[in-house]
Structure 1
Amino acid sequence: MSTGPNRRPRRRRTLTALKVLAVLVAAWLAIDKAAGIVAPEPQVGHWRSQEGYDSYRAAYDAVMEDLPEPTRTHDVRTGFGTVRVYEWAAGKDAADGRLPAVLLPGISSGAPMWGDNLPSWIGGRTLYAMDAIGDSGMSTQSVPFASFADRAEWVEQMLAGLDIDRAHMVGHSFGGAVAATHALDRPGRVASLTLLEPVVVLEALPVSVYLWSSLLILPAPQPWKDRALAEIGGTTVEEVRERTPMSVMVDEGAEHYAAPTQVPRTFTDDEWRSMEMPVRVDIAAEKSLAGGGEAVDRARSLGMAPVTVWPETTHSLPMQAAEELGPELEGYWSTHDG
């Protein structure tokens, strides 16, 4: 474990390039359909080559330079591999009794995806952000997942390894599906559950997303693929082609990391109602991959609260609404610290 008490000043990253993170979800789910035929046996996530990992690592380190420096870096062993976790400890003036917040990332974005959000929360309570097992990042997988539920199990083992008895669990996109599955299977450690554009667990993806995603796994011309990326991500072709440290890192991970492809499922009403912890849901107003208006209606009918639709946002809601989301979530966590 390494420590670093000083924090670097954070440079503002552009949000436009982050919009294309949405396409990774859709492409990954589309690729899963083909992978189930070609490689039906469970696979361990791995780097395709040392050169690919080195290229990704350089991009990852460049993005991490933009984040506030963690108080500690942990490598937590689980039954499925080792989880890289970054901790930002609560400040000395933080209120007593504040539970930690644990941040689960979307596909291929890892801990760096929270760079726009962390400044709002650092100091008030202890924060943990990690790179997921079975995804690009600094975590490593050693045992295959037999089912999607195993992704929730490594989260439970990670919390135990960090001696976290209870925490506010936050998940974006695919991480939202993991967080929801963990809360369903292992509710004891979950003080509250925040789902930011969670995929599949509330509503299935629209058919149009799968149709556009098919272009990403077929030998189509690059201009066609750029158009597909723009349609799925709710952005423009020009923004798809924009290069920033974050978009370079995401591209390198998608190209060089072979990820296992178990997918989440849509929960039943009874499963949602069985969760006794508070659950809040945040949905993008444009190009939502969580189910849009149908997901909003369902979440409200199940008694989740608050259920918020964020204007002028796409699937990359946490980055796009960072300024407003920061105090909103801190207030929500404080209400449920007891």
Structure 2
Amino acid sequence: MSTIYRSEAGAHEIRRRYQDVLDGWPVPAEQVRVPTREGETFVLVSGPEDAPPLLLLHGSGANTTMWRDDIASWAGHFRTYALDLIGEPGFSAPSRPPLASDAHARWLDEVLEGLGIGATSVVGTSLGGWMALDYATRRPERVTRLALLCPGGIGRQKTAFLFKALLLRPLGDWGKRRSVQVGTGLYAPEDRPVLDQVALIFGQFRPRTERLPVFSYDRLRRLTMPVQVTVGGRDAIFDSRDTLRRVRQCVPHATADLLPEVGHAILGRTEAVLAFLTR
């Protein structure tokens, strides 16, 4: 059993539900597995073969299903490549090289080479936003546009949420669900399917405990490509206002938006991101 899961039965259930979503994917898709030094990487490919590439990097405790509501729109304009990040609850290898190294950039180099991609637009959220930033600051020539949703590595990472989650988890299923609500900011009835999926995963999955390295001012100033940053004013995990302050200081050409009533999970931004990517 991989150490990223709490049990083999839990891992099996997560994978089973994942496959069910893939079987009902809203657009035609090809499932590709790319060999890398970190192990195999699963990629879900959609959109016209001759369209410009778009790389999608999901957040912690997630997989390519995060993009289900976006993909029909984006795949109409791009050849989309939704990656399962290594070390997360998808079909990629469970490898977790140190974040404070160039290991993830080298991994993405191999993935892009395996897919035959030279340069690409990138959309990343949370941990995937951190990986997108890490790659874009190390390989700016390979990133044509960068759209970030509640990205890690810019603003201060909060710790109060972790203490709340530890206090709530012993309170049974209600406590576990409540801790997920606090972390994601999803409370509306229409968010229930997403909330259920996140609760299932974090009940059986061991997330990374390594704090995300914060990018220096010099690293952020390497972002010369068009950049869009969207954050939630009620994000319980990252300090959104600190994120915007540093973006505006280091990347003055970036489009930076604060959604005051939104938490860490930013949903429903399909068309806003598409407008930026096709500008």
- Which TM-score applies when normalising by structure 1? 0.72
Question: Of the candidates 26, 31, 35, which is equivalent to residue 77 of structure 1?
Answer: 35
Whole-angstrom CA distance in 2 between matches of 1:211 and 1:151: 29
For structure 2, the 5+ residue unaligned runs are none
Q: Which residue number corresponds to residue 17 of structure 2?
A: 59
- SS state at 2:62 partner: coil
Question: Of the candidates 291, 305, 317, which is equivalent to residue 254 of structure 2?
Answer: 305
The answer to whether structure 1 residue 145 and structure 2 residue 97 are counterparts is yes
The answer to whether structure 1 residue 330 and structure 2 residue 274 are counterparts is yes
Q: Is the 8 A contact 2:46 2:79 kept in 1?
A: yes
Query: For residue 17 of structure 2, what is the amino acid of its counterpart?
Result: A
- SS state at 1:191 partner: strand
User: C-alpha offsets along residues 203-257 of structure 1, whole Å, 9 cap, x if unaligned?
Assistant: 122343233233256x456555554443333344x969x863x444433433334
The Cα of 1:100 is off from its aligned counterpart by 1.0
User: C-alpha offsets along residues 289-332 of structure 1, whole Å, 9 cap, x if unaligned?
Assistant: 34222222221222142111235432221x2x23xx42x32332
Whole-angstrom CA distance in 1 between matches of 2:248 and 2:232: 15
User: Comparing 110-119 with 268-277, which one deviates more in the overlay?
Assistant: 268-277
Q: Which has the larger radius of gyration?
A: 1
For structure 1, the 5+ residue unaligned runs are 1-43, 93-97
The Cα of 1:109 is off from its aligned counterpart by 1.7
Question: Of the candidates 110, 135, 145, which is equivalent to residue 157 of structure 1?
Answer: 110
Whole-angstrom CA distance in 2 between matches of 1:235 and 1:288: 11
The Cα of 1:176 is off from its aligned counterpart by 0.4
- Which TM-score applies when normalising by structure 2? 0.85
Q: Is the 8 A contact 1:283 1:292 kept in 2?
A: yes
Whole-angstrom CA distance in 1 between matches of 2:261 and 2:49: 33
Identity of aligned residues (%): 26
Whole-angstrom CA distance in 2 between matches of 1:172 and 1:48: 25
The Cα of 1:56 is off from its aligned counterpart by 1.4
Q: Is the 8 A contact 2:4 2:206 kept in 1?
A: yes
The Cα of 1:65 is off from its aligned counterpart by 4.2
Aligned residues: 276
Q: Which residue number corresponds to residue 233 of structure 1?
A: 184
The Cα of 1:138 is off from its aligned counterpart by 1.0
User: Comparing 56-65 with 186-195, which one deviates more in the overlay?
Assistant: 56-65
Whole-angstrom CA distance in 2 between matches of 1:177 and 1:49: 28
Question: Of the candidates 217, 230, 235, which is equivalent to residue 287 of structure 1?
Answer: 235
- SS state at 1:59 partner: helix
Relative contact order (alpha carbons < 8 A, sep ≥ 6): 1 or 2 greater?
Answer: 1
